[in-house]
Structure 1
Amino acid sequence: MTITPRDITADPVLEVRAVAGHRGLDRPIRWAHVTELHDPVRWLRGGELVLTAGMGFGTTPDQRRAYLHRLHRAGCVALAVAVDTRNHGAPPEILAEGDRLGLPVLQVEGDTPFIAVVETVAEHHAAERTREQDRVLAAQDAMARAALRTGPSGVLTELASATHGHTLLLDRNGMTTAAVPRTEPPWHARVRASALDRAQRPRGMTVLADGEASILLQSLGTTGRALGWLALRSPTPVSPHTRMLANDAASLLAVDLLHSRQTRRIRHHERAPLLRAALTGAPGPRPDLLTLPDPPWEVVYLPSAEPETLADRAADALVDVLGDTDAAHRAGLCTVGGAVAAVLPRTPRPRHGERLWSALRDPSSGPHGAGACGARGPADLPSALDRARQAATEGYRHVDDTGAWELLRSAVPPEGAHAFEQAVLGALRDHDARHGTELVHTLRHYLDQGAQVEATARELGVHRNTLRARLRVAERVLGRGLAEARTRLELWTALNLEPMPCHDGTWHT
């Protein structure tokens, strides 16, 4: 609430009346200043009620009009002139110019001293500061009580009410989790982009201009990645009290988010032994005691040098991946050896497991790879974990995205693959090495062409009789005919396993 020249003239304690410039009587007075200087402009900041006995007006009409012009250009709110036995009020040139400019000219009459007018203005501003402080204290108390009763939505409601603004609570991904009013405002997209742009910058408050309004964007949390952001759109320029209230609200919201995060971590720690037993097939409580989302599930394997730390990070990231939903609260997390296992609701692309891995990736600490496999129910969990572990290499790899042959090849250990390849192809490779033939190369193309002589001969660029001669030699070395399906299956499998090192250090291809 401001004080204006009209308020000064209406004060019954003061004998002050307006004699010119009435259309400017409702301008707010920032301060009252007494001066008798001919040109006081350099001592003014704007918004003043200037009080004078008229000693600086000048002696000519032009000087008097120029005096009022200087005050008007300096942003003065009004001119108050003393009336006594020697000074009969403002000269007519001052009155006429005040009417023309809309700059109020007041007359201070009777026994009213200038100090009484100055004190009236000062007392008003002091009382207004006290009222504003009381409003801030009342709003702080209301937000604190709302935080205990209704949580973040209550804090946002009280902040919006105290500042006559709009409030938003954004999660760490910039998505709105609460808003007052509830409808998402048109400036949300700009705030979200600004929040994500500032995600890696130092914490604090940013003020964005929005026409005549202002938007305060405050990060939540004290260390590490921001837990979220508070956005407040104020219809007026931001005052120190508005900043104070926004900071208080941000502290209350951060405490709530930290408490929620700690609660999530504790809940996953308490459920971890039961889930670990179900995933490893170890004896333990009945699988039906698992409070997981409804199957089918996606079992995710995340290898880590610090699985306990990664498990806590995963508990935080689940809310980002699944939202603050029942599925996020019921999803399973536990450490298994040197890794974290997660049991999530199974969905088509984009899969939750891949999003979780993306949210946890860190260039320095990993996890650099993740494997995933579907599970239809509790009985499938051990095998799903085992297959997810085998799939966990560089990047994210889901068993469903891998062909059957890749699954078989990844399941065969290198030693076994090398032994199988030697058993099937060893004699052929020895013959090629001794006689300079290309039996292995020829058989690879022959099998890839579906055992078709004409097509294989064209691909190799040889005559079909030459190809038939090579195939007869291969049958003689193998001691088996190529017409047998089992022979062709063993040859194709051996030729298509991962390249294995030879005894001399070279690699079969």
Structure 2
Amino acid sequence: MSLPTLRQILELPPFAGAELLSGHSRLDQVVTWVHVAEVMDAWRFLSGGELLLSTGLELARATPEAQVGYLRALAQAGAHGLALELVQWMREVPAELLQTARLLEFPILVFRSEVRFAELTRAAHERILRPHVARGEEPLLESLLDALIETGRSQGFLERQLGPVLSLPSRPRSTLLSTLEALLASQFNIAETARRLGVRRQSIYYRLEQLQGMLGDLDNVERRLGLWVALELLKR
């Protein structure tokens, strides 16, 4: 599988408003995944090659020394970029942080108007998981969805993945399905999910508890993949 470069990620339509402030020489590094990360110790969860998305919620509260330490830790952990939304918590990238990024040639990109992190991660992950295919060859996810439909297995798959939620009345079903999709798109980041859905965090915790009660363990990677495929199947 050919992973996309940061340059190719930035060419995706949802990233059109991004402004690159540093790290221009690193645009040809590959991106392995895109994470929404607000915590200051995000470096602990990285495996290398990630692009991080943040509103700067915690970063804005940190001292200049802590901000520089945060960036250095990301670089040492192998992150390949940091995207900041300069709307609510930060209006400009702190001078010392930007200076350090330029010294390290670490890519920092900014959005100066509100963006939907869910759309950014979805587009990036589709590009990562569904790289350019040979002419005439169908993308893997499309082939999987078509196979489920054509073999008459789509309904059974939906029932196994989402049955209890699908049996709900229209309004709660729609609410929980949209919440589940937002949770999956943000890697279950509660703050980001709440912000994008325009509700309080407590509402997301409550809905997540409902989803777990109906669907069981949502932490398993294979389970999350199955749910993602089911949600895409519902759109067909």
What are the ranges of 5 or more consecutive residues in structure 1 without an aligned counterpart? 136-509
Cα separation, partners in 2 of 1:43 and 1:62, compared to 1, 3 Å: same
In structure 2, what is the Cα distance between the partners aligned to 1:92 and 1:9?
Answer: 24
Structure 2 residue 21 is the aligned partner of structure 1 residue 19: yes
2:128 is matched with which residue?
Answer: 125
1:84 is matched with which residue?
Answer: 87
Structure 2 residue 69 is the aligned partner of structure 1 residue 66: yes
* Pairwise CA RMSD: 2.5
In structure 2, what is the Cα distance between the partners aligned to 1:88 and 1:56?
Answer: 14
Structure 1 residues 436-447: aligned runs within 5 Å: none
Cα separation, partners in 2 of 1:93 and 1:30, compared to 1, 3 Å: same
> How far apart are residue 10 of structure 1 and its match?
3.1
1:5·1:104 contact (CA, 8 Å) conserved in 2?
A: no
Structure 2 residue 117 is the aligned partner of structure 1 residue 114: yes
Letter in 1 for 2:49: G
In structure 2, what is the Cα distance between the partners aligned to 1:40 and 1:47?
Answer: 13
Letter in 1 for 2:87: D
Name the SS of the counterpart of 2:56 in structure 1: coil
1:29·1:77 contact (CA, 8 Å) conserved in 2?
A: yes
1:54·1:81 contact (CA, 8 Å) conserved in 2?
A: yes
2:44 is matched with which residue?
Answer: 42
- Higher helix proportion: 2
> How far apart are residue 115 of structure 1 and its match?
1.4
Name the SS of the counterpart of 1:51 in structure 2: strand
What are the ranges of 5 or more consecutive residues in structure 2 without an aligned counterpart? 139-236
1:9·1:18 contact (CA, 8 Å) conserved in 2?
A: no
1:7 is matched with which residue?
Answer: 8
In structure 2, what is the Cα distance between the partners aligned to 1:38 and 1:10?
Answer: 28
TM-score (norm 1): 0.25
Residue 56 (structure 1) aligned to one of 48, 58, 69: 58
Letter in 2 for 1:41: W
Which is higher, the Rg of structure 1 or of structure 2?
Answer: 1
In structure 1, what is the Cα distance between the partners aligned to 2:97 and 2:133?
Answer: 37
In structure 1, what is the Cα distance between the partners aligned to 2:123 and 2:92?
Answer: 21
Cα separation, partners in 2 of 1:85 and 1:41, compared to 1, 3 Å: closer
Name the SS of the counterpart of 1:116 in structure 2: helix
Provide, for residues 364-416 of structure 1, a one-character-per-residue CA deviation record: whole Å limited to 9, x for no partner: xxxxxxxxxxxxxxxxxxxxxxxxxxxxxxxxxxxxxxxxxxxxxxxxxxxxx
In structure 2, what is the Cα distance between the partners aligned to 1:126 and 1:83?
Answer: 29
**Number of equivalenced pairs:** 135
In structure 2, what is the Cα distance between the partners aligned to 1:37 and 1:85?
Answer: 16
1:8·1:16 contact (CA, 8 Å) conserved in 2?
A: no
Cα separation, partners in 2 of 1:100 and 1:40, compared to 1, 3 Å: same
Give structure 1 regions of 4+ aligned residues with deviation exceeding 6 angstroms: none
Quick one: higher RCO (CA 8 Å, sep 6+), 1 or 2?
2
TM-score (norm 2): 0.51
2:101 is matched with which residue?
Answer: 98
